[in-house]
Every structure is written in C-alpha cells, then in structure tokens.
Amino acid sequence: MYKKILVPTDGSPSALAAAEFACKLLAGQIGESVTLLVVVSIAKALKDHPTLNPTQVDEDLVKSKLRHAGRQVISQTGTIFEQMGLSVESMVEIYDDPGDRITQIAREQDFDLIVMGNRGRSPVKELIMGSVSNTVMQEAECPVIIYKK
C-alpha cells in the first residue's frame, strides 16, 4: 500500500495514460492519495519559441502564462479522477529541469511512489524513454512506475 503517489504530467497521451493507471491504484485502495504535478520550464518555453529575445522577455508575464498552461493540464488530467469520484491534490512548479524538480518534490514531501508516462511532449523523442522519465528513474529515492500506453 502506498500512502502518497506523485503523478507528474504534461498532458501528453503517455502522461494521461499514467494518470489513468494511478487512478486505478487509488480506486483499488492501493494508494491513499494522489498529487498531480506539472513542472514548466522558462528555458524550454524560450527554446520552443526561438523568435523571442530572452533579454526582452517579461519574465513575470512568461511565468504567469506558464502557470496558466500548467493549471490547464492539471484540470484536464484531474478530470480522469473526478469521473471516478476521486479527489486529488495538484501542484504547478516553474523549474528549468523538470526531472530534477520531480525527484526533489518526491523526496521533500515524502512521496512513496511516482507514476509517470514514458514520453512527454518533448519535440526530440528518445529511442527508449523520455529524458524527464529517465532522470526520475535514475534519481528518485522511491519506487517509480514508468507507464507505457
């Protein structure tokens, strides 16, 4: 039995499938609570929009837009749990390296299981596993389930 399950999500099909799996764990009383986590990166946002000049970007505006986008992902993912009558907690974090932040939060808040998808929305697909899931697998101190749709 797991008390605290962390489900990092970016709204990708793989992340949503992992959330559905975590929902089944919670519904089956294998877990007591689930926290959905979105980690957004300013550096990645700037990289995805190369026409932006980083020295002329309003950092507060970018953070606000990233938080808003993160809340939309949380809302979309949370619907999976709501449909089953289950409640979840949620967090939106801004951090340059999502994999590092996920493992930090898992450690700092004593999560005892991480459930995540094997690939995110990264434009560069890795051969075996996404870079974020790979980082979490290597650095997490608790068990990690990489759910493959």
Per-residue HEC secondary structure of 98-126 comes to HHHHHHHHHHHCCCCEEEEECCCCCCCCC
Across 33-37, 62-66, 111-115, least confident range: 62-66
Domain with 94 in it: 2-147
Q: Which residue has the tokens 């991480």?
A: 114
CA distances 75 to 12, 38, 78, 91, Å, are 13, 11, 5, 11
145 confidence band (pLDDT: 50, 70, 90)? very high
Q: What is the mean pLDDT of residues 67-82?
A: 96
Domains held by the chain: number: 1
- Average pLDDT of the chain to the nearest whole number: 87
Q: Which residue has the tokens 């950092």?
A: 59
The pLDDT, as a whole number, for residue 128 is 40
- Kindly write down the DSSP assignment for every residue of 19-61, as one continuous string: HHHHHHHHHTTSEEEEEEEEEE-HHHHHHH-TTS-GGG--HHH
Across 6-15, 41-50, 53-62, 121-130, least confident range: 121-130
112 neighbors 2 (Cβ within 8 angstroms): yes
Q: What is the mean pLDDT of residues 88-104?
A: 95
Displacement of CA 10 from its chain's centroid (Å): 5
The pLDDT, as a whole number, for residue 59 is 76
Among 107, 89, 92, smallest CA distance to 31 is for 89
Q: What is the mean pLDDT of residues 131-140?
A: 93
The pLDDT, as a whole number, for residue 121 is 55
Cα torsion 83, 111, 137, 46: sign? positive
CATH number at residue 17: 3.40.50.620
This model's pTM is above 0.85:
yes
